[in-house]
Structures are given as C-alpha cells and as structure tokens.
Structure 1
Amino acid sequence: MTTVNWQSLADKSLAGLVLSRDEALAVLTAPDDQLLDQLAAAYRVRRATWGNRVRLHFLLNAQSGLCPEDCNYCSQSKISAAEIEKYPMLAQEKILEAADRAAALKAGTLCMVISGRTPGDTVFGKVLDAVKAVRAKHDLKICACLGLLNEEQVLRLKEAGVETVNHNLNTSANYTPEIVSTHTFEDRVNTVEAVKAAGMKTCSGGILGMGESDDDVIDLALSLRDLDVKSVPVNFLIPVPGTSFEGRNELDPRRCLRILVLYRLLLPTQEIRISGGREVHLRSMQVMGLYPANSIFVGDYLTTQGQTARDDLRMIEDAGFVLETPDGEPLEGDPFAGVPESYPRAPLPLVEV
C-alpha cells in the first residue's frame, strides 16, 4: 500500500478544499502503523481553530422512552425491549437540578433532549419555560434536541434563549432506510435547514458502527459539510441489549480514531464532539480522540453511563488541554474546584465488545 502524506491532506483541509473520495477512503483504511501520523495531521487542523481548548457539554434526558419511531439503534424506540427508565417530561425543578450539576461540572452547554418524533404543544411549552428558567439562573448555553421541528418552532426556541438546535442525520442518505422506516433522511435535513433559516446554530452528527460502509461514513460527513453544520456530535454505537442492533460489534479504538481524523479533515472548523460510545469503544485510548475532536460530553448519556466527571477532567489536564468557558475562552483557575466526587449515575448496560 502506498504511504499517504497525511500532512498534505491537512494542508488541503486548512486551505478549505474537500478531500477526494480516494483520499477519504485512504484515511479510513490506513494501517495501524500510520495512526499516529494521521492524528498529528488532524491535530494541526484542529489547533488552527480550537487551539488546545476542550469544550464540555452536559446531556439531560428530559423525557425518556415513549417514542413512536422505529430506529433500530435506539433503546428508547417503540421496537426496543431495552431495560431503561421511561418517564414523561421532567418537572422544571428536576431540570434546574440538572443545570446546577452541569454548571458544577464546568460544562458550557446544557443539551436538553426529549424522546419522540416531534413535541406536542404541552411538552413544547414546558421546554420553553424550562429554558427560560435555566437561562435566568446559569450562564449556560442551551442546546435543544426535540425531534422534527418546523421553522416556527425553532424561532420560538430562539426567543426563549436556546442557542443551538440538535438534530442528527445519523447516517448517510443511502443507509438511512436500513436503520429506520418511520422518517426519511430528507425529514432530518429539513429540520436542520429550518434551524439555519431561523439564524440559529446547527448541531448535527451521526452514529457510526451500525453496519454502514466506508462510503456511508464519508457521505455523512459530506452531507454535514454541505449543510454547513457548526457542531458535529460523533456517536459510536453502543449495542444495548434489547435493541435491534444489540449484536453489532464492529468498532475498535483505532477504527474510531480514524473516523474522527476523517471528520476533522472534512470538517476543519466545526466543533467535533466525541459523544455516545466514547468510553465503550475508545476505552484506554479516549484521550487520543481529543487530537482530532475538540469537545466531549461530561457525565452520562441518554440511557447509558459515562465515566466520572473527575476522570474526564483529569484526562483533559494530563494531556495538556484546557477547558473552554461558555464564551470560548480558556478556563482560568482550578478545573476541579467545586466538582463533586460523585453524583447519581445513569444505568450502565451490560455490553460485550
């Protein structure tokens, strides 16, 4: 196999040029002995926009389960038999408690998620009220993930104080019918376009390890680039028992890192966040993901457990990275100040990898 000059790909990325299909495939199929060189090239691109800063997000599952969609990967889907907590929209008091925890853990953004296809009027009104209450109490940015939305709903979120709306494309247009039948790829694109039309920050990414091809991995990244998405969460499938994809174990740490390298080279200025599956699939190599990516979730995920916040902060500090404030500046002072030793955890599914 011909050795690729990874730094030349970094030069191309920094110049705003799109990698060719062959170059993108080369990133995903490179031998392991080139991984460090790939990470070095990706870090050069990351550093040009984000320096050595790491942005923290805190995820709140404000409504769990009860979803009419049939997404094969999801433990909250109507076809899932996963043993998870199921509950309607949390009371505002509980949402404020989560916001308190997010602020204590040095997160700059509270990501408020509800399960379901699209919010009904009552739930949507509760979301708006909760956003206003959080913004009144904390200097936290708010990202809302509420399912399919139209431009009017997005504008109301903006007026309430939401800065970003998340709606993941999840996979390529070609592979979408393999993971869900209750909505289309175009449905998801339309929601992202509605967010853009409202002048709000777009957050959209995907889930890797669902059986997609290398071309699907590339096509998802190119779709996100075409949509000019600003924040890109990269999830690695956790094959939760009880879901349709519980037997899919296609990932290893090196594959995950090569995907992150590719996404940095194709999305040079975007915030790239290592999201669900970080601890399960990167394992002892988690910190290496911060060389292409510049953001992580701190704490737990929607229905699965992450590592402790103190472990995350120690990992960031040990590698010479610094936390970022909500304003995008390096955090000054002790990053551990006020961070609790422990807090209530989400259930950790028993997943064999």
Structure 2
Amino acid sequence: MATDLSPSTETAPVRSSNRFDDWADRVLSGGELTRDEARQILESDDDEILRLVDAASRIRKKHFGKTVQLYFLMNAKSGLCPEDCHYCSQSKISDAEIPKYNILKRDKLMDAARIAAEQGAKTYCLVISARGPNEREMKAVEEIVPVIKEQYGLDICACLGLLSREQADRLKACGVDRVNHNLNTGEEYYGKICTTHTYADRVETLRHVKNAGMEMCSGGIIGMGETIDDVISMAFDLKDLGVQSIPLNFLNAIDGTPLQGNDDLSPQDCLRALAMFRFVNPDRELRIAGGRELHLRSLQSLGLYIANSVFVGDYLTTKGQAPEEDYQLIRDLGFDVTTKVGE
C-alpha cells in the first residue's frame, strides 16, 4: 500500500498557553509581575519547570539575546572581618579554616586582573572583607583601578562593605564602574543572619553608590532558612531601588559558620528563584553566583536560559568549576561571551 507523502493541508497545532507564558507576555509588553504571581512561581511544581524556564528565557532573550557576561572575583582581603554575617566564612564568628590576610599588594592585584582578561571576563570584582574600607584600603583601590582599566580594559566592580557618601564619590572619581553591596535577604529576615549592621545600612550604601553616579550591583543568597515571602521581598526591593546587576547566590553552607549543615535546595528550587527574579527584574543583568555548581549541578545550562551572567573561576573562599567547563557550557548553549566594555 502506497504512503501519501504530500503536504498536509491541516493547520499545525498551536502551543497551548500557560500562566507563565501569559505573565511573560505581560512583562514583555511593559507590564509587571505581581507579588502573588511571584509566590506562585516559587511554589510551582517540579513538573512545570521546563514551561517556567521557557517563559523566563523569552524575557532574557528580548533584553540580552544570546550574550553571556563573565565576572572574575578577586578576594583582595580575606577574613579579619568584624561583622557577624552568619553565612560568611570570613566573619568574626566563623571558625572556618580560610586564608586571612590584609589587602594584597599591587602586583598580586594586577596579576589577577591579567587572569580575568585572559579568561574572557568583562568585569573584575575587587572584594575586601570588612565592615567598610579604611583609608589605607581606599587609597589602594584608588591607585590600582586606573591602572587596571588602562592596561586590561576591564570594567571594575568594587565590593568594600558599607560606604559613606564621600567614599562612594572617591570610588567614582578613580574609575570604579559599579559597586556590589548585596541586600542578601528580605528586610524582615535580615536580623536573623546579621546583628552588627542593619538592612537599612545596606540600602543606604546603595543610595550613596547611585548618587555618586555608579551602577549598583546587589543581590542575595537563597537557602539561609528564609521564607518565600523574604525572597519575594528582596526581589521587589531590588527592583524598586533600580539595581542594574543582580547576583543570585545559593548558600554554600561552609563548615565553621552558623549556617553549616543547611543544604535543602534542589536544582528546581534554584531555577524557580532565578525565574522569579527574571520576571520581577526583566531588563536587569541577572547573574548565577556562588553555589551554582553545588546546587544547580547538571541543570546549570537551564539556569543560563534565565540568567545572562556568571562568575568564572573561584569565589571568595570556595572553589568554582574549571573555566573550561564554563566555556564549554556556553558554547553548547549557542551563546556568545560579551567582552567589550560598554556592551
């Protein structure tokens, strides 16, 4: 019996709509996600993950196409911090076995900048552990930033702790492009993870950064025992502050910290959180930060359909995966690394 291979005149089936697609359509048209819808994303079933990622990826594609930006972290001063942030291996209450040293000399900071450039990073993140920078640390940053920018053409993100208005102005004057200062969690939960400074202190620093004319980089950590409402609150606060770059960390519960043993995140939890932040902050740079290798594991590629940025190499006191693995992941997705400053 012959088989008829002629084209069918029937109309191809139309993909059925779902709530995530409807919300994406609204966001893509300039609308906003509600807090109740954000909650529904975080409470969605694992069986809905692929539909959620697909909807979020449509938003990512509109604003960032197929580009991925790489960040390189330099722990310029390790440990010795007087704050009691419960998640941090460098805090005064941590017993974690980590290197402890004052701000590094110029040659080591320059060598790290060279590595950042060689690894395809667009942004070099200069980080110190401190409540805030002292005068010696401020001068070290002011001296090194112009040299790094001239020699390697990297964007500079400084993470120096709490800043005064005058310190923010000085960072702008020396060429710092953006300052990282994470909110870390929602305002109501903040007192449970830190008592030596407040959520309001962090918001004030971000306002100083904005008023100085630099970009704000601020995100948080998922998996510290917070509620869904705390995560939603953080996402909307970042939106209201107008933060340009949002790193989303997944708790790496380091032994010796008060949060050691907290390890209840699944890859699906991480994807839900990333998607919710993308919906709430559609045109903001969203970065998969610390803990991605530990918690997303084999689903890291799905994360990059939502986020448009990752750290390459190691983190502050924990190891990341080999840069070659990140490059391969990006190539396999058909994405392009953005390296040109200003893109």
Alpha-carbon displacement from aligned partner over 1:131-188 (angstroms, at most 9, x marks no partner): 1221121110000000000221111111111100110000000000000000000000
Offset of residue 32 of structure 1: 1.0
1-side partners of 2:38 and 2:302: how far apart? 20
Out of 52, 67, 75, the residue aligned to residue 61 of structure 1 is 75
Alpha-carbon displacement from aligned partner over 1:66-103 (angstroms, at most 9, x marks no partner): 00000000000000000111110000100000000000
Out of 232, 245, 249, the residue aligned to residue 231 of structure 1 is 245
Offset of residue 128 of structure 1: 1.1
Query: Does residue 260 of the first structure (1) align with residue 264 of the second (2)?
Result: no
Q: Which residue pairs with 2:196 in the alignment? A: 182
Letter in 2 for 1:164: R
- SS of 1:24's partner is helix
Q: TM-score, normalised by structure 2?
A: 0.94
Offset of residue 250 of structure 1: 1.9
Q: Which residue pairs with 1:155 in the alignment? A: 169
Q: Which residue pairs with 1:293 in the alignment? A: 307
Q: Which residue pairs with 1:320 in the alignment? A: 334
Offset of residue 193 of structure 1: 0.6
Letter in 1 for 2:205: T
2:179–2:209 Cα contact (<8 Å) kept:
yes
Out of 5, 27, 30, the residue aligned to residue 44 of structure 2 is 30
Over the matched positions of the two proteins, sequence identity in percent amounts to 51
- SS of 2:156's partner is strand
Q: Which residue pairs with 2:323 in the alignment? A: 309
2-side partners of 1:264 and 1:326: how far apart? 24
Query: Does residue 250 of the first structure (1) align with residue 250 of the second (2)?
Result: no
Out of 89, 92, 97, the residue aligned to residue 78 of structure 1 is 92
Matches within 5 A, 1:186-205: 186-205=200-219
Offset of residue 13 of structure 1: 1.8
- SS of 1:272's partner is strand
1-side partners of 2:208 and 2:173: how far apart? 15
Offset of residue 123 of structure 1: 1.2
2-side partners of 1:4 and 1:67: how far apart? 48
Letter in 2 for 1:274: I
Out of 29, 33, 47, the residue aligned to residue 19 of structure 1 is 33
Out of 103, 112, 115, the residue aligned to residue 129 of structure 2 is 115
Letter in 1 for 2:216: T
Letter in 1 for 2:114: D
1:141–1:326 Cα contact (<8 Å) kept:
no
Q: Which residue pairs with 1:277 in the alignment? A: 291
2:270–2:296 Cα contact (<8 Å) kept:
yes
2-side partners of 1:328 and 1:38: how far apart? 31
Letter in 2 for 1:235: N
Q: TM-score, normalised by structure 1?
A: 0.91
1:65–1:77 Cα contact (<8 Å) kept:
yes
1-side partners of 2:96 and 2:212: how far apart? 36
2:223–2:262 Cα contact (<8 Å) kept:
yes
Q: Which residue pairs with 1:208 in the alignment? A: 222
Letter in 2 for 1:166: N
Which one is further off, 151-160 or 184-193? Answer: 151-160
2-side partners of 1:229 and 1:177: how far apart? 22
Compare CA radii of gyration and give the structure with the larger one: 2
- How big is the alpha-carbon RMSD for the aligned residues of Structure 1 and Structure 2? 1.1
2:121–2:312 Cα contact (<8 Å) kept:
yes
Letter in 1 for 2:232: I
Q: Which residue pairs with 1:140 in the alignment? A: 154
2-side partners of 1:184 and 1:87: how far apart? 26
Out of 168, 173, 197, the residue aligned to residue 182 of structure 2 is 168
**Runs of 5+ in structure 1 lacking a partner?**
330-353
Offset of residue 327 of structure 1: 3.0
Aligned residues: 327
Query: Does residue 220 of the first structure (1) align with residue 219 of the second (2)?
Result: no
